[in-house]
Each structure stands twice: as structure tokens, then as C-alpha cells.
Structure 1
Amino acid sequence: MDLEKPPQRREPEGCLAVAIRVPVRIVVLVLVVPVRMVWDALVVAGRVLRDTVLRPLGRALAWLGRAVFVWPFVGLWRYVLVPAGKGLAWLGKVLVVVPLAWVYARVLTPLGHGVVWVLRGIGAGLVWVYARVLTPLGHAVLWVLRKGGAVLALVAAGLFAAVAWLVRYLLVVPARWVYAWVLAPAGRAVAWCARGLVRFAGLVVTGVGVGLYWLARVLVVLPALALWRWVLAPAGRLLAVVGREVRDALGHAWRVAGRISLAVGRFLGTLLRWIFVEPVRWVYRTVLTPVGHVLRDVVLRPAAEAARAVGRAVREALASARASVRQARADFRRMLLGAPQREPEKEPERTVSGDRREPSGRETRTLGSSTTALTKD
């Protein structure tokens, strides 16, 4: 983070800008430092809240949303709707498509072929009627109309000539005379009067416009121009200089406040580390760790060894008891049923994956030859 902006090409500044810059930067720095420190504290708190609360909460809500909304619909689609759709498709194919295909192939197609054959026969009959009956009749009617049409044309030509002569001398010639000797002179007189009125109105409007222009120029434009040139423009330039300096001061103060906030944060972090973290580390390293080692070496390890020894003794006692019970059961069976006729064949040695309840030695254990830790002489 730089205290100053990168070098830029700036225009030459006057004494007013230099005189405004220093107090403005001091005031803005005093106002911006608390805001920047609060902003940095809010940023740190927001990051901690995001990493420790919002992100795990969002993941939990996403998982819950998938468990509540997505997975049930996926299961419904995959295990209910898709099999139901396949079953309905197969049922529709069996009940609708196959019967319709059979009806089309076995019923409608032969019926259509028969209808086409009938229509072809009807069309051939109509063609014969047109060629053999209607065509000669039409030729005869056309010959009759040609012979009578010449007479009708002569009569119509005479009537048209008479009507045209009457229209010419009863309508056209009087209308032309009225237009040439009445309407045209009257229209010229009206147009001359209208042109005179338009010129007069133009002169009046021009005079009124010129008067209003000079009146507005003297009463409005010249005072406004003087106000803009001698009051508003200098004030605007002054405000522009102040605004530019305030903008630069805000940027400079924001960067300086960032440095100050960083230094304060590092100081508070170091203070918290030396007040809380280092004492806890020292207590853990110099007190709790040796005490834990002593407890481990003096109490926990001997207790574990004793527990393991007790466990081994209990396991050996249980194994000896099981062997004694097996021997007593074998003696009782031999006493009741007698010795077997022949000795069974020697069984091969069992592997590690065999029955682990029997000993793997060569001799069978007896009460007098036990090798356990509790019965050994």
C-alpha cells in the first residue's frame, strides 16, 4: 500500500490550490482514520464470520436442500416415474400401436385401394362425358354467340357515340366556359388579396420579434452573461479546485488510514499474542507437557501393562478351562461307550485359517501336563 499516488503528469498549480491542500488534508485525515479503522475491523469480522459461520452454514443448507428436495425427486424419477413410464409405453404399444398397425395393414389399406379403384372409374367416366358430350355442346354455343355478338357490337357503338355527344355539349363545354370566365378570375383576385395579407402580417411579426429580441437581450441576456462571466465562472473554478483537492485528500487520507489501521491491527495482534497466546503456550510447554509425560510414564503405562497382563492371564485361564472340559468330556464318552475299535488316522496340522479352538501342538493337553502359566510347576 503506497502513501502517495503513482507519479502523474499534472498541470501547474496556483498558490490558492497549495494554500487549500494542507488544511483540507489534515481535516480529511482526522475524519477518515476512524472510518477506515472501523471499515478494516468490519472486513476482518466479515471474513471471520464468512469462514467460521456462513460457509459451513451454507454447506449444511446445501446438503440439507439436496437431501430434502433433490434426492427425493431423483429417487422418484429414477425408481418410480421411469419404470412407470416404460411400463405405460409397453402397455400403449401392446394395446394401441400393434392393433392400429394391424387395422391399417389388414383393413384400411385394402379399403383404400378399393376406393381408389372406384374413383379412377368415376374419373374415366367424367373424362368421357367431357370429351364426347360437353365439348361439342360448348362449340355449338360459342358459334351461336359469335354470330349474335357482331350485331350487338354495332348497336352498342351507336348508343355510345350518342351518349358521348350529349355529355360533351351538355356538361363539358358549359363547365369549361364557367372555369375560364368566372372561377379563374375570382381565384386570381383572392390569391392577390391573400398574398398582400401575408406580407403585411410578416412585416408586423418581424417588427414585434425585433423589439422582443432587443428587449430580451438588454433585460435578460446581458445581465445573465455578466453574472456568468464575473460571478459563476470564478466561483465554479474555485469550487473545482476545492473539490479536486478534497478528492485527492480523501484518497491520500484513505491510504494513510490504511497504514495506520494496519499498524494498529498488528499492535493489537502482538499485544493479544503476548497477553494470551504466549502464556498459554508457555504453560502448555513447561507445565502441562512434563506433567502429561510423568502421568504417562508413572500411571498410564504401568496401568496398561497391568491390564494387558491381567488380560493374558484371563485368556490363559479360559483356555485351560476349555481344555479341561474337553478332556473330561472325552473321558466320560470313553467310560460310557468304550474305546474305539481302531485309532483314527492322524489329522494333518491345521493352518492359521483353521479351527483355532484346538491346540496346534503334537500332544493333547491333560490336567497333568498343562503348560499354562497358572498350572505350570
Structure 2
Amino acid sequence: MTKKTKEKTLVALDLGNNQIKIKTDKEEFLFPTAMLAVEDTSNESLIPTEERHAVFKTAINDNKNYYFGSELKEIGYEERWIRSIGYGLRRYNNETFKAMLTYALGVSVASNGPGMHSVDVVIGLPTSDVGDPRLLDDTEAKKCISDYLLGAQALTISGEKYSINVEAIKIVPQYFGTLVNLAYDEALEIKDERIISSGNCIIDLGGGTVLGDIVNGLTLGGKKFEDDWGVADIIDELRTKVNNNYQKTIDANVLMSILKEGSDELGYHYVPGNSNYRLDLTSEVVEIRNQYTSRILAKMRTEIRHPEKLSAILITGGGANIIYGDNLKKEFPEVEIVQESELANVRGFYTFGKIFGLGE
């Protein structure tokens, strides 16, 4: 009996250095860009973790068992997480990055159950890695990803087999996601004419990079600027400060959670398993946030020569939640902090796919 392929799914992917974002018609996901080998945890619990959490495996990394996805934070062992932080072709050729691409596709269709799946994919990359978005293979980075993704992907999730056929793929500049998300509503109607008809600057404050693009409407191209440092570097600096001030080594992923969950008003606190121990890191976090804001301001002064010609300077990405936006606005009144900035790009990728009829 021939297995029936399930209804085609449109999958939008944003595999950032720090966070993976996925959107389908049913679900959205936001979780760390990391995986954890099952063997690094299974000998330390009376109840094996693989009996409580989804286990992923695929051929690209020899079918070894890994935890991946939204459950990672609950599992813990942050110091043992395997990440794919990197830049350009070196990152896209990396086995870990490719495994996470396959795992992410698995996450996107898992709610439909095991078996055969057909998907179309929209994925965003830094502008310098994209080249001409109208052509699939005009840069080595795009060719690397399309060669790997197009066709059959096979993986196992907790013992159940998934066969995913990637029928079509669109690779777009990362900034395009935020623009499309702001320009169109869910019915694909224009909701912000400024984005369509005016000049805008999009600054994506990512985990490993700062990506800036100055564009006119939804046209492709324009001035771009980049820096190979991002939120991960800020967290490393915070980690060093904490270590120097308190002789305490705290994992970078834990510090990131502290920063996201705290506030200047309520403070930033490290509370390990022993709830009686509480380390106040507020002064260190505020100092780091100010330093981060100053660096971004310096970059903006250099790269945005004529802000008066822009309708908006849109600050997006995970770093938009860390930076002091009001400080930017004092010097650049055009600044707007994108709401739910970590998901803005992937939502726009999904809308872009719908506009082009993908997933149908």
C-alpha cells in the first residue's frame, strides 16, 4: 500500500546564531539555536531524559541522538549545548547547521504526525549572502543551502520516521522579512503604506551580527552594512564582568535568560537551583545594555548619513529587546523598535511565501 503524502505545508525559517524561529499556518516556534547530545544527560538521572523529551536523529550527523527545540531550556545542561554560531559559507557548510535545518523541518511538521510530508520553504540570510534574491543559486551560500534542502529530508523524532520532501525554496534577504511583516496583514492587504513607498533603514540586531540595510520601499538592493558581533558577544562580556566581580562562572545561555526575563525596574537576578541563593546582577546588566546601545549608536552615526530622508529606522532582531531604544530616539527620532522583534522576520518570510503562492 502506497503511503499518502500529507497536505503541503509552507514553512518559514530563520536560523539565527542565537535563536531559531519557525512559522507555519498552524504554529510559531522560538527556541535556542542549539542541540544537546542525549548521551551527555542520560547517565545523570534516575528517569532517562529521552523518555520525557523528544529525541531527534538524522543521517547528516550519523544518526546520533540529540535533543532539540522548545524543550531544551527545560532539559538544561546549557554548558553542554552544541551551537552553530558562525558566519557565511563556513556556517552553512557546517554539519551542525545542516542537522538543525533538518531538525527544524521536523519540528514544523511534527504536529501532522509521522510519515511523508511535502513542504515549501522560505528562509532568510544576511544580504551579503543572498546576492540576487530572484536567482536561487547565484551565491555560494544560497547554493549550499538549496543543494542541501531541496529534495528528500529524512529524520526520526522519538522513534517515529518523518520523510520531508522540500519541493520549492525561496531565499530572501533577512531584512525583507521585517519589511513584509510590517507592510502586509494576514489577508495580504497593505497595512502600512510607508513601508511600500518610502525609504527605510532596517537594523537587525542578531545573535552574532548587526545587519543594516537602507532600501526604498520593498525594492531589493540598496546600501548595506554589517558587523560580525552581536548579542552573543554582549553576553560574553557580561559573563566576564560577573566572573570578575563575583568569581562566579554563569553559562551564557543562563545569562541570556536572566536578561530577557528581568528588567531595569525589577532587577536582574541569578537564582540557581537553591532558591535561597540570589545574586543581583542589575548593575552589570545595565552597564552592558548601555555599552551595547552606545556601540549601535556609533554604527548608526557612521552608516546613516541622511536620516532625514528616511521614513523610519526600524530596529529588529533579539537585540531590539536589549538596547535602550529611547537613547537611540534622542539622536535619531526616526527610530522605531519593532514589536515582537524576534519573530518579525520569520512572520514576514511566511507572508512572502503566501504572496508567491507557496505551500499550495
TM class by smaller structure? under 0.3
**TM-score scaled by structure 2?**
0.14
Which structure dedicates a bigger proportion of its chain to helix?
1
**TM-score scaled by structure 1?**
0.13
Q: Which has the larger radius of gyration?
A: 1
Higher relative contact order (CA 8 A, sep 6+): 1
